[in-house]
C-alpha cells in the first residue's frame, strides 16, 4: 500500500504567497491588469517560480475558487441540512461565516463575473446539497420538481449574495443572510413583519 505524501511545506508557503499576492492585487485593480510580474514582485519571488505552479493568472484564480468551494463543501458537511431545512437561517449564518473570513477577496471574486467561475461553482455545490435534502421531502414527488426547486432556491440565494457584494454593503451581511433564509423557507411572506 502506497503512503500518501504530505505536501512540501515550502511549496505550500510559496503557493500561498503567490495566491495572497494575487488576492491583494485583485483588491487594488482589475484582473485583466494583473501580470505575472506583478504577482511575482509582490510574492517576493521570480516569474519562473510563479510559472512552476501556475500557467497564468486564470489558473491562480481557479485554484482560489476551488479552495473556496472545498471550504464551502467541508462546512456544509458539518451542517445537518436535514435538521436545518426547516430553519434555514442557520445554513445562511454558516455561509456568512465563510464569506466573512476573507470578505475583500470574495467581494472581488463576485464582481469578476465573466472572468470568474466562482458563482457557477457555488451554485453547483449548494444545489446538490439542497437537492439531497429535498429528496426526502414528501411535498416534492417528481424529479422535475426537485430540480426546479433546488435551482430556484440556489439561484435566488447566490443572486442575493452577489447583489450584496456589488452594493455599498450598508446592510450587514448577517441581516442579508437572515432575510435570505426567511425567503427560502417562507417565500415573500417571510419578509412580513
Task: Between 15 and 182, name the one with better pLDDT.
Answer: 15
Among residues 59, 173, 33, 42, which one has the least CA distance to residue 116?
59
| Confidence bin at 15 (pLDDT 50/70/90) | very high
* Half-sphere exposure for 15 (CA within 13 Å, toward CB): 16
Residues 6+ away with beta carbon under 8 Å from 85: 133, 134, 137
| Confidence bin at 63 (pLDDT 50/70/90) | very high
Dig out the grid coordinates for 168 from the structure: 455599498
> What's the predicted TM-score (pTM) here?
0.67
The whole-angstrom separation of Cα 66 and Cα 77 is: 16
Residues 6+ away with beta carbon under 8 Å from 191: 179, 182, 183
Check if the beta carbon of residue 51 is closer than 8 Å to that of residue 36.
yes
Q: What is the pLDDT of residues 86-123, one digit of tens each?
A: 555 666 677 777 777 767 667 766 665 545 677 778 77
For the residues of 40-72, what is the DSSP string, one character each? HHHHTS-HHHHHHH-SSHHHHHHHHHHHHHHHH
The answer to which of 1-10, 18-27, 66-75, 139-148 has the lowest mean pLDDT is 1-10
| Confidence bin at 81 (pLDDT 50/70/90) | low
Amino acid at each position: 500500500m502506497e503512503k500518501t505524501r504530505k505536501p512540501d511545506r515550502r511549496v505550500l508557503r510559496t503557493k500561498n504567497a503567490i495566491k495572497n499576492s494575487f488576492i491583494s492585487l485583485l483588491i487594488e485593480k482589475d484582473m485583466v491588469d494583473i501580470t505575472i510580474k506583478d504577482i511575482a514582485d509582490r510574492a517576493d519571488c521570480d516569474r519562473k517560480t510563479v510559472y512552476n505552479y501556475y500557467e497564468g493568472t486564470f489558473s491562480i484564480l481557479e485554484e482560489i475558487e476551488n479552495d473556496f468551494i472545498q471550504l464551502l463543501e467541508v462546512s456544509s458537511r458539518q451542517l445537518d441540512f436535514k435538521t436545518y431545512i426547516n430553519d434555514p437561517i442557520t445554513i445562511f449564518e454558516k455561509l456568512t461565516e465563510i464569506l466573512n473570513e476573507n470578505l475583500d477577496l470574495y467581494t472581488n471574486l463576485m464582481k469578476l463575473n465573466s472572468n470568474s467561475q466562482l458563482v457557477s461553482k457555488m451554485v453547483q455545490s449548494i444545489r446538490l446539497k439542497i437537492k439531497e435534502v429535498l429528496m426526502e421531502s414528501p411535498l416534492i414527488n417528481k424529479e422535475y420538481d426537485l430540480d426546479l426547486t433546488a435551482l430556484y432556491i440556489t439561484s435566488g440565494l447566490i443572486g442575493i449574495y452577489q447583489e450584496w457584494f456589488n452594493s455599498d454593503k450598508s446592510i450587514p451581511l448577517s441581516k442579508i443572510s437572515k432575510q435570505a433564509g426567511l425567503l427560502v423557507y417562507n417565500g415573500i411572506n417571510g419578509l412580513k413583519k
